[in-house]
Amino acid sequence: MMQHLSTQWAILLGVACAACRAIWASEPGPRPNVILIVADDLGYGDLGCYGQKYIRTPPLDRMAAEGMRFLQFYCGSPVCAPSRCVLLTGKHAGHAAVRDNRAARGRVHDPERDQFSGQTPLPDAEQTLAEALRAAGYATAAVGKWGLGYEGSSGDPLAQGFELFYGYLCHVPAHKHYPRFL
């Protein structure tokens, strides 16, 4: 059965962070770097470190060899924005604030002018993984597709614990193989 890596990272990253918190409390010293890579539609067997023989992924395989590799996981949701919401908040999809890829209420997509409205925003009250990492003294950044709120909303990545964001706030333009802008 094909299972997605994003939830694997979410669950076990949470366990790893809890374990690291206990270690940090008892032992001063350098903290580990945390790099979370989420790729839409990347399946369990698509990387060399998980057995892929035809597609070469040496940088990711090296990261897995030098870091952690997880073997039991599930995807938080079958579509992208709710899956990222589950990943960032640690909530079950049934309790998550974002449950679909729908545009935010009152906002519409205008394909003629390449304007994208943005999806339903994460509420300000949500505690995200980025906020927890920043509170622990980490620098945070997100690069890529967001889909959890539009610029200036409570779901803007800069309002959800990320110090830097570069990518698509609205996931619609990221669906094109050759997007017209970034």
Torsion from C-alpha of 173, 61, 69, 92, nearest 10 degrees: 10
The pLDDT value recorded for residue 8 is: 41
pLDDT tens across 124-164, in order?
999 999 999 999 999 999 998 899 998 899 999 999 999 99
On whether the CB atoms of residues 156 and 149 are closer than 8 A, the answer is: yes
Nearest to 98 by CA among 123, 118, 117, 78: 123
Intervals of the chain under pLDDT 50: 1-12, 15, 19, 23
The pLDDT value recorded for residue 157 is: 96
Residue 146: both structure tokens together: 């967001």
The pLDDT value recorded for residue 91 is: 94
The pLDDT value recorded for residue 143 is: 92
The pLDDT value recorded for residue 3 is: 41
